[in-house]
């Protein structure tokens, strides 16, 4: 198959092409490794290097092309669909996959109609929870594009239920949670990881890595830390990732903010911790997202606590004591205390990307039969 994959360039603070990061990179890469001819078309809303990149993906091929807004923002934005349509006509894809956000889902659906090929919508989140959804008409266009898609991939069962019930999708809808690079996220020696990261070797370390944002629920963790720090003199709070200017990490002698960590160092951090925290708010984002760090932490053998929102109660159903009430810092402190003592891991098998995309490939092949 010739497969066109449309997405934004920046994803979860990473560069899809250069960092070769997560779902938006692994879907086209793994399809190429299965023998398909894949072309990735990225658009950057920031200034980014433009051009083409060919990545090794034998027996198939994977070529990325990228454009950006640059200095001439409006002309570039308005001209991109016409330019992309011309490039797609030259490529002659059998299938178009739109991913990453509302514009690329809508654009992918439009391109597929013009070229008369099947369209696949990949929803790694509930895009109605993104800031773009506040632009008049965007939600309507998103729902229309997803409703008409031949195949819809979602990252969680709650999001699949929403697409089927609210969007009334006419095509097949499949839940395909994001997984992790198991060559990076794996069991590593705890003492060695703590030494490499400059963390206390004998303390109780709790923490997380990711968006430390108030609207995601990080304030629950900060408030719970106040109690944990008073009852456990050996406990440290370890944090990494982008911070919220309105709610910076607590200032405390036993709080370590690690900044923005490289992918491999994030794995080291999860191996260094004793308990990881997955906080969520009961919002459109929280209810339908799939917290990728849940799989990352599981692959590193890290016991976790998680909010009772969205998919987390299902992931932690075998350890109910590790589930806390979102918005209740005292309940989070209780769950943390439980896991500090018990160190229980959920019954949560972690597949690699090859296994996940092999299943996806079968659905793509069915579209061409």
Q: Is residue 185 part of a domain?
A: no
Is the pLDDT reported for residue 82 higher than 80?
yes
Residue 83: which CATH number? 3.40.50.2000
Range of the domain at 152: 2-179+352-367
Question: Would you say 199 and 278 are in contact if contact means Cβ atoms under 8 Å apart?
Answer: no
Shared-domain flag, residues 175 and 202: no
Integer CA distances (angstroms), 42 to 9, 120, 154, 303, in order: 5, 16, 20, 36
Q: Is residue 347 part of a domain?
A: no
Read off the pLDDT of each residue in 232-255 and give the average, rounded to a whole number: 96
At 124-152, the pLDDT tens digits run: 999 998 889 999 999 999 999 999 999 99
Shared-domain flag, residues 247 and 327: yes
Note if the bond before 59 is cis, omega within 30 degrees.
yes
Is the pLDDT reported for residue 71 higher than 70?
no
Shared-domain flag, residues 155 and 7: yes
Is the pLDDT reported for residue 75 higher than 70?
no
Q: Looking at beta carbons, which pairs linking 334-340 to residues 24 or more positions away fall under 8 Å?
A: 335/305, 336/206, 336/224, 336/228, 336/275, 336/277, 336/305, 337/228, 337/231, 338/305, 339/275, 339/303, 339/304, 339/305, 340/204, 340/206, 340/232, 340/235, 340/274, 340/275
Is the pLDDT reported for residue 275 higher than 70?
yes
Q: Is residue 144 part of a domain?
A: yes
Integer CA distances (angstroms), 225 to 146, 214, 264, 295, in order: 42, 15, 26, 24
The DSSP secondary-structure symbol of 124 reads: S
Shared-domain flag, residues 223 and 110: no
Angle at alpha carbon of residue 309, lines to 234 and 300, rounded to 5°: 50
Is the pLDDT reported for residue 153 higher than 70?
yes
State the CB neighbour count (10 A cutoff) for residue 192.
13
Shared-domain flag, residues 42 and 163: yes
Is the pLDDT reported for residue 364 higher than 70?
yes
Residue 61's pLDDT is 98
The set of residues, in sequence order, having a beta carbon less than 8 Å from that of 87 and lying 6+ positions away, is 41, 65
Sheet holding 2-8, edge to edge: 51-55, 61-68, 37-44, 2-8, 95-99, 119-123, 151-154, 172-175
Shared-domain flag, residues 55 and 160: yes
Shared-domain flag, residues 127 and 201: no
Read off the pLDDT of each residue in 315-323 and give the average, rounded to a whole number: 95
Shared-domain flag, residues 142 and 251: no
Is the pLDDT reported for residue 230 higher than 90?
yes
As given in the structure block, the two tokens for residue 5 are 């994959």
CB neighbour class for 45 (10 Å; exposed up to 12, middle 13-18, buried from 19): middle
Residue 271 CA to residue 102 CA, distance in Å, equals 35
Categorize the per-residue pLDDT at 177 as very low, low, confident or very high, splitting at 50, 70 and 90: confident
Is the pLDDT reported for residue 9 higher than 70?
yes
Average pLDDT for the chain: 94
Residue 76's pLDDT is 74
Shared-domain flag, residues 209 and 315: yes
Residue 238's pLDDT is 98
More confident residue, 183 or 220: 220
Residue 229 CA to residue 339 CA, distance in Å, equals 15
Shared-domain flag, residues 272 and 316: yes
Q: Is residue 104 part of a domain?
A: yes
Q: Which residue has the tokens 């968006």?
A: 211
User: How many domains does the chain divide into?
Assistant: 2
Shared-domain flag, residues 61 and 132: yes
What are the residue ranges of helices labelled H in 13-101? 22-33, 73-91
Residue 310 CA to residue 156 CA, distance in Å, equals 9
Categorize the per-residue pLDDT at 369 as very low, low, confident or very high, splitting at 50, 70 and 90: confident
CA torsion sign for 112, 113, 119, 123 is positive
State the CB neighbour count (10 A cutoff) for residue 148.
16
As given in the structure block, the two tokens for residue 220 are 């629950």
Is the pLDDT reported for residue 186 higher than 90?
yes
Residue 33 CA to residue 56 CA, distance in Å, equals 9
Residue 307's pLDDT is 98
At 19-45, the pLDDT tens digits run: 898 899 999 999 999 999 999 999 998
Q: Is residue 184 part of a domain?
A: no
Categorize the per-residue pLDDT at 73 as very low, low, confident or very high, splitting at 50, 70 and 90: low
As given in the structure block, the two tokens for residue 84 are 């992309």
Shared-domain flag, residues 205 and 173: no
């Amino acid at each position: 198959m010739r497969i066109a994959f449309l997405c934004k360039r920046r994803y979860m603070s990473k560069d899809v092409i250069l960092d070769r990061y997560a779902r938006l990179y692994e879907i086209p890469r793994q399809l190429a490794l299965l023998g398909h001819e894949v072309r990735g078309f990225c658009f950057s809303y920031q200034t980014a290097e433009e051009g083409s990149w060919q990545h090794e993906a034998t027996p198939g091929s994977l070529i990325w092309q990228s454009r950006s807004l640059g200095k001439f923002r409006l002309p570039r934005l308005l001209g991109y669909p016409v330019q992309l349509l011309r490039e797609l006509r030259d490529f002659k894809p059998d299938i178009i996959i739109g991913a990453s956000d509302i514009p690329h889902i809508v654009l992918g659906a439009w391109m597929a109609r013009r070229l008369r090929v099947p369209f696949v919508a990949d929803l790694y989140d509930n895009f109605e929870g993104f800031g773009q959804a506040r632009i008049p008409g965007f939600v309507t266009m998103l729902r229309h594009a997803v409703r008409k898609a031949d195949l819809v991939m979602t990252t969680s069962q709650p999001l699949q239920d929403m697409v089927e019930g609210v969007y009334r999708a006419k095509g097949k809808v499949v839940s395909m949670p994001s997984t992790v690079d198991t060559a990076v996220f794996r069991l590593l020696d705890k003492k060695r990881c703590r030494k490499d990261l400059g963390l206390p070797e004998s303390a109780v370390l709790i923490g997380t890595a990711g968006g430390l944002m108030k609207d995601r629920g990080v304030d629950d963790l900060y408030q719970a830390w106040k109690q944990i720090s008073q009852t456990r003199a050996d406990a440290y709070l370890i944090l990494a990732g982008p911070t919220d200017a309105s709610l910076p990490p607590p200032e405390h002698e036993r709080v370590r903010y690690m900044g923005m960590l490289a992918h491999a160092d994030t794995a080291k951090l999860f191996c260094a911790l004793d308990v990881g925290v997955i906080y969520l708010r009961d919002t459109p984002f929280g209810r339908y997202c799939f917290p990728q760090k849940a799989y990352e932490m599981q692959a590193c053998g890290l016991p976790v606590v998680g909010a009772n929102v969205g998919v987390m109660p299902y992931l932690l159903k075998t350890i109910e004591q590790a589930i806390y009430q979102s918005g209740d810092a005292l309940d989070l402190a209780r769950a943390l205390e439980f896991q500090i003592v018990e160190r229980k891991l959920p019954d949560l098998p972690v597949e690699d990307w090859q296994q996940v995309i092999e299943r996806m490939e079968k659905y793509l092949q069915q579209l061409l039969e």
